[in-house]
Structure 1
Amino acid sequence: MLFKVMKVEHLLASIDGSYLHFNRVDRYADFPGADANDGAQLQHDRPGNAGARFQKTPHFSAADYYDRARRRTYACCFSLDNSDHIWSEYANGSEHGKVCLVFHFGRLRAHLNQTLEPARATLMYGSMRCQQFFSVNYGVVSYIDWANHKANDEHLLNPVAYTYLKDLRYSAERELRV
């Protein structure tokens, strides 16, 4: 089971609009003290990433690629636990209170995969029909010592990997991301 605490007004907007809200990971500001490094390449990875250049585009580094990928990555976050922590940290400041949605992960994953299946999904840009190119990743966040951790010792990471790394101080979230 997955748990998502949210403001009642956000739940009503989601129901009215028939959507599940995803945030850009480089713009999280859910609460004071939100992780400014969310989804970012690790500071000890950055020098190696900056030194790795693309053969056909030498002015563009792997660090640039990771920064661009972060700006294009959206996530919907859930907790693995219905804990006091998520109730105290999330959905504060609501005029109408808080609510906790409980999701069955397998059903949520199946529904999202089916909805975004390229043969079924339609992506429109104005009146132009485009090929659906979105991908959905699911994963449990790993909590690390962000200030000291280095992940690219042997090879460069898939940019999605940084989306699932957070500083140890956020470990009480016990987060799963879509």
Structure 2
Amino acid sequence: MQKKHLAALLLPLMASLSHAGEFHAPDTLVWQDRTYQLAYQNALPDGQRFYEYTTNGESVDAWSTLLTLHYGKNIQQDPMAWVVATKHALDRTTPRPHYQLSVDGPSGYARIIYEPTAKAPTCESDAHRSYHVGACDGLVIYQVAVKYAPAADASPKGRFERLDWIAGESAKLADALKKQAWAPRCD
């Protein structure tokens, strides 16, 4: 999955120390009136943790919408530094995805579209929101990923029209993530 590679690139780029509580991932997340269950979690030796949530009995290997919480222990930086680190990581990704990055108040935001490849035959749209909460003793990133079928028309025009439509859907995802009331629980 492309999003896991990005997370592995992003979190190590953003290190500086802080001392506070620790992030506690919930067992469920509600997204667009659906309840997602924690389906997978992984803790790495460097303090990074990944929590993946699915709905409708989907697995983390076969999903249509996947929610992921990334926690980088001891990573404290401001939203602009997160956006800059994200840009550097995305620019090194092959093939390079389409993306838009921004900062609004206390959070950084990323909209990313991955085009289909031989290994990943679907389009993937990701929306990320970074949480820079001192009480968490680290950085929390909330990610929503949605898979879309590639363009039925493989011509350049058909491909462009499909990507343009996905970009519109990606903007809606990012807007919903921005308006969401969820916040990391840390103690």
* TM-score, length of structure 1 as denominator length: 0.28
Which is richer in strand? Answer: 2
Higher relative contact order (CA 8 A, sep 6+): 1
Please state which structure has a larger fraction of its residues in helix: 1
Q: TM-score, with normalisation over the residues of structure 2? A: 0.27
